[in-house]
Amino acid sequence: MTTLFTPLQVGDLRLPNRIVMSPLTRARAGTTHIPNDMMVDYYSQRASSGLMMTECTMVDAHACAFIGEGGIYSPAHVAGWKRVTDAVHAKGGRIFLQIWHPGRAAHSLLNEGEQPVSSSAKAIRNDVTHTLEGAKPYEVPRSLRTEEIPRYVEMFRLAAKNAHQAGFDGVQIHGAHGYLIDNFLRDGVNERTDAYGGSVPNRARFLLEVTDAAISVWGAGRVAVRISPLVPFNDMADSQPEALVTHVAQELNRRRIAFLEMRNENHTLPLEQAILAIARRHFQGVLMSNGSYTRESGESTVACGAADAIVYGRPYIANPDLVERFAKQAPLNQVNYDRLYGGGPDGYSDYPTLAAG
Ligand SMILES: Cc1cc2nc3c(=O)[nH]c(=O)nc-3n(C[C@H](O)[C@H](O)[C@H](O)COP(=O)(O)O)c2cc1C
């Protein structure tokens, strides 16, 4: 029987287990967005996971949505991340960089006055974002002109190239959560009338162009995609998530990417199970599933074959040795929600392992 501890071939990589660390923004990189010693510690502490994804990482100097997130757009960022990947590899781990553009979730106060961009000029409603001048409502973004889109694809290609130089094992394209790629994917936001809007294939075009750009750098066996077709975060919605997932899964399947990750909120909900099953039907490669999993529900999901690996977010915040804890069925540390974003090592790289316990 397949368990969380059954090794798994994922593209070009062999994972020793199926317990994967979710991308988690922790905003410890400061205003330079350059990884530091604290981040080297944090990621290397979690190296026993089958695979780690980094926090979402800026593909461009004007792609900031959170104070202190990591970047991958200059030689200094490459050098900073190289220290992280070296430390993870020294402990026998594997790590993908999550490459990301925030789209309409950015703010001009975080981007030297640049107006956020999106598929359409629709703001995130009824919410605020945090800038160096305090909390501010989201701004109305500028709709990208058709002829500008290749430049944004190129940002992702350069980020993928930088990730390669920084020694990562691959990249995960962030197509979830209402950021730039998702602003194109879902029709609750995308009101375009050009080749990037309207039909499902048109809305998926930007994601697939970015995917092809990343494949041109890495080869398909080192490129992954994360989507969240049902997650409403950042004021997102879609009228036909089933059709969207069918098309995206089929197109990614043709490209033979390393894995597709379905990010849900609570995998026990029937609608979420149905969308995962659609991805399974149309994507024959490795399928990863995320969303409120425990050890037990992760075990039963891989045992029944609904997904090949389980992606854990909050459990990984507080448990650097999640793999060892699951193996021993040991209790988990609880997340300190006051220390999620920014600040120092407390609530970040100081969660105890069982051994230190
Ligand atoms: C503090 C925090 C930061 C997150 N940052 C990211 C991120 O950078 N990129 C991303 O795709 N998802 C991010 N997420 C979502 C998680 O990757 C994951 O999908 C979510 O926590 C659900 O998984 P869980 O139920 O196992 O926690 C974040 C979640 C949390 C709690």
Q: Is residue 352 part of a domain?
A: no
For ligand 1, the distance from its centroid to the CA atom of residue 278, given in whole angstroms, is 22
Q: 155: which 2 tokens? A: 């940002």
344 is a domain residue:
no
**268 CA distance to ligand 1 middle (Å):** 18
What pLDDT sits at residue 356?
83
Q: What digits encode the pLDDT tens for the residues 102-122?
A: 999 999 999 999 999 999 999
Query: Domain range holding 122?
Result: 8-339
Q: What is the mean pLDDT of residues 254-272?
A: 97
Average pLDDT over residues 130-140: 95
Q: What burial letters (b/e) apply to 220-247, b meaning 16+ CB within 10 Å?
A: bbbbbbbbbbbbebbbbebeebebbbbb
- Which atom of ligand 1 is the closest one to the Cα of 290? 23
Give the Å distance between the CA of 145 and the centre of ligand 1. Answer: 31
CA 354 to chain centre: 28
265 Cα–ligand 1 center, Å: 10
Domain count, the chain: 1
Task: Determine, yes or no, domain membership for 3.
Answer: no
pLDDT digits (tens, 9 = 90+) for 213-249: 999 999 999 999 999 999 999 999 999 999 999 999 9
pTM recorded for the entire structure: 0.98
**Residue 350 located in a structural domain:** no
Q: What is the pLDDT of residues 9-33, one digit of tens each?
A: 999 999 999 999 999 999 999 999 9
Catalytic residue among 179, 196, 348, 351: 179
The reply to whether ligand 1 has any atom less than 6 angstroms from the CB of 176 is yes
Q: Is residue 174 part of a domain?
A: yes
CB of 178 within 6 A of ligand 1: the answer is no
pLDDT at 99: 98
**What distance, in Å, lies between the first and last C-alpha atoms of the chain?**
32
70 part of a folded domain: yes
**179 flagged as catalytic:** yes
Q: Is the pLDDT of residue 357 over 90?
A: no
CATH code at position 192? 3.20.20.70
Residue 124 falls within a domain, yes or no?
yes
Alpha helices in 117-240 (DSSP H): 149-165, 180-185, 200-218
**Of all protein residues, whose CA lies closest to atom 14 belonging to ligand 1?**
24
Domain assignment present for residue 345? The answer is: no
To test the pocket of ligand 1, the residue of 4, 24, 53, 180 to mutate (highest count of ligand atoms within 8 Å of its CB) is 24
